[in-house]
Amino acid sequence: MNSDSTARETPKLDASRLPRHVAIIMDGNGRWARKRMLNRIRGHEKGADTVRAVVRATREFGIPYLTLYAFSTENWQRPDTEIAALMTLLKRFLKSEQPEMLENGIRLNTIGQVERLPADVRETLEAVKAATAHQTEMVLNLALSYGGRAEILWAVRGIAEKVKSGALDPDAVTEDLLAQHLYTREMPDPDLLIRTSGEMRISNFLLWQIAYTELFVTPTLWPDFSKAEYMAILEDFQKRERRFGKTGS
Query: For ligand IPE, which residue of 27, 97, 151, 191 counts as binding (CB under 6 A)?
Result: 27
Number of residues that bind ligand IPE (CB under 6 A): 18
Pick from 7, 26, 23: which is nearest to 191 by CA? 23
Judged by CB under 6 A, does residue 30 bind ligand IPE? Answer: yes
Give Cβ neighbours of residue 215 (< 8 Å, ≥ 6 apart): 193, 195
Judged by CB under 6 A, does residue 71 bind ligand IPE? Answer: yes
Site for ligand IPE in 82-141 (CB under 6 A): 86
3-state secondary structure of 181: coil
d(CA 211, CA 186): 17
3-state secondary structure of 172: helix
Q: Which is nearer to ligand IPE, 29 or 132 (CB)?
A: 29
Please indicate whether residue 27 is annotated as part of the active site. yes
Query: For Mg ion, which residue of 25, 27, 132, 139 counts as binding (CB under 5 A)?
Result: 27
- 141: which strand partners? 67, 109
Site for ligand IPE in 146-205 (CB under 6 A): 197, 199, 201, 203
Please indicate whether residue 75 is annotated as part of the active site. yes
d(CA 96, CA 89): 10
Q: Which residues contribute to the site for ligand IPE (CB under 6 A)?
A: 25-31, 69-72, 74-75, 86, 197, 199, 201, 203
Active site residues: 27, 75
